[in-house]
């Protein structure tokens, strides 16, 4: 399994998020991506935090950007594994987040937004993003 060059990928990912360019972020994701996020579970009343497909991810991130117009990410660290890149970043509220991304054929097929102390409403509130 090949992954993109991790540092370059993380830079492009953060640049797209900081520009609020959802389509640029989505360009790295497969059509049938599955993404989990505790923030998604909070944003959608009927949600279980599991988003299936690019269109569901687009709707989630677009909604997040509407709710958080000052959203901004600062990459803290980038980690590479077998078919996996983890982007450790600080969000606009100072919360620490890790985005765990699994790749197939150069595209993200599975992702997980994970948060420091996921039980803390302070850290999750407004912590959209890959998320």
Widest CA span in the chain? 37
Token digits for 58?
């687009």
> For 131, which DSSP code?
-
Q: Are 21 and 13 in contact (CB under 8 A)?
A: no
Per-residue model confidence as pLDDT tens digits over 48-86: 899 999 999 999 999 999 999 999 999 999 999 999 999
Would you say residue 130 lies in a domain?
no
Would you say residue 42 lies in a domain?
yes
Token digits for 82?
């077998």
Per-residue model confidence as pLDDT tens digits over 78-107: 999 999 999 999 999 999 999 999 999 999
| CATH, residue 62 | 3.10.450.50
Closest Cα partner for 32 from 13, 52, 60, 49?
A: 52
Would you say residue 1 lies in a domain?
no
Q: Are 39 and 124 in contact (CB under 8 A)?
A: yes
Number of domains in the chain: 1
Would you say residue 129 lies in a domain?
no
pTM, 2 dp: 0.86
Would you say residue 33 lies in a domain?
yes
- DSSP line for 28-55: TEEEEEEEE-HHHHHHSTT--SEEESHH
Domain holding 31, by residue range, is: 6-124
- In angstroms, the first-to-last Cα distance of the chain is 24
Would you say residue 38 lies in a domain?
yes
């Amino acid at each position: 399994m090949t992954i993109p060059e991790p540092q370059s990928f993380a830079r492009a990912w953060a640049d797209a998020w900081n520009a609020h360019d959802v389509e640029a972020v989505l360009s790295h994701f497969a059509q049938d991506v599955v993404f989990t996020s505790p923030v998604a579970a909070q944003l959608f009343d009927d949600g279980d935090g599991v988003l299936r497909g690019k269109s569901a991810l687009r709707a989630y991130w677009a909604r997040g950007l509407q709710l958080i117009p000052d959203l901004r990410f600062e990459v803290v660290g980038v980690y590479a594994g077998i078919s996996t890149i983890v982007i450790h970043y600080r969000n606009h509220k100072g919360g620490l987040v890790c985005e765990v991304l699994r790749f197939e054929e150069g595209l993200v097929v599975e992702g997980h937004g994970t948060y420091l102390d996921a039980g803390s409403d302070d850290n999750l509130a407004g912590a959209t993003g890959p998320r």
